[in-house]
Amino acid sequence: MARTIEHHDAPGLRAMIVYWSASGNTKKVAEAVQRGLMSASVQPMVRTVAEAGGIDLYDYDLVFFGAPSYSFLPPEPVLRYVKEKIRHHRDRGDIKPGAPKVPGKRAIVFVTYSGPHTGIDEAIPVGKYLGQFFAHIGFDVLHEWYIVGEFHGREDLSTLGRLGDIRGRPSIEDLANVERQAAELVLKGP
Ligand SMILES: Cc1cc2nc3c(=O)[nH]c(=O)nc-3n(C[C@H](O)[C@H](O)[C@H](O)COP(=O)(O)O)c2cc1C
């Protein structure tokens, strides 16, 4: 079911995009999210995981968090970021029994993956893990987006895998879909 931000939330919406990307696929998706939000008159802050350590997520109403799947988990630097954040939020008392929602705080997680062996099942643990992080600190996780990305440097895994020929993914069309979905999230009512 599509879930959206109510239109009246859009003015002054504070949005941030945090991502990690080694070979550029997740970065492309982050940039598509940025274009989509900007087309809906929201100016997001865009940061890599390495740049985002000191940023308080509660300063933002809408946080997009993106990472690739590495051995069906988030890559080590992303795991480190999440673990550090959990420690910080636990010490601050933000992580409570029952994980009550903090009003107005929403997150969307996005995962790029090549799925060479078992397809999207290699990406779902990443989306669930990142979603759980946000849910634990009281964010409403609106969506998990899974986007196919070429396995750079491994032509066999980009042509012979479960998903077939994924060279060039995310494609222009994949990115246009992300852009549209990001814009719709802000512009369309529920
Ligand atoms: C070390 C490594 C491990 C990977 N493991 C997986 C995996 O288990 N499952 C999968 O679907 N894709 C896997 N991939 C493919 C990446 O998830 C995919 O290409 C992703 O889009 C790369 O994102 P990036 O270009 O932003 O770094 C792996 C890639 C690398 C480099």
**Digit-coded pLDDT (tens) for 31-74:** 999 999 999 999 999 999 999 999 999 999 999 999 999 999 99
Contact residues of ligand 1, CB 6 A cut-off:
21-27, 68-72, 112-115, 122-123, 149, 151
Task: Categorize the per-residue pLDDT at 4 as very low, low, confident or very high, splitting at 50, 70 and 90.
Answer: low
- Give the count of beta carbons closer than 10 Å to the beta carbon of residue 75: 19
139 pLDDT more than 50: yes
The domains of the chain, with CATH numbers, are: 7-187 (3.40.50.360)
Gap from CA of 168 to ligand 1 centroid (Å): 14
Residue 130, CA distances (Å) to 65, 67, 83, 179, 187 in order: 8, 9, 11, 21, 25
Residue closest to 66 by CA, chosen among 123, 4, 138, 135: 123
Non-local CB neighbours of 190 within 8 Å, separated by 6+ positions:
3, 4, 6
Gap from CA of 52 to ligand 1 centroid (Å): 22
Q: Can you tell me which atom of ligand 1 is nearest the CA of 72?
A: 8
Token pair 């970021």 in the structure block, residue:
81
Name the residue type at position 82: V
pLDDT of residue 189: 39
Residue closest to 174 by CA, chosen among 98, 112, 87, 84: 112
Within 13 Å and on the Cβ side, how many CA atoms surround 120?
9
Gap from CA of 70 to ligand 1 centroid (Å): 5
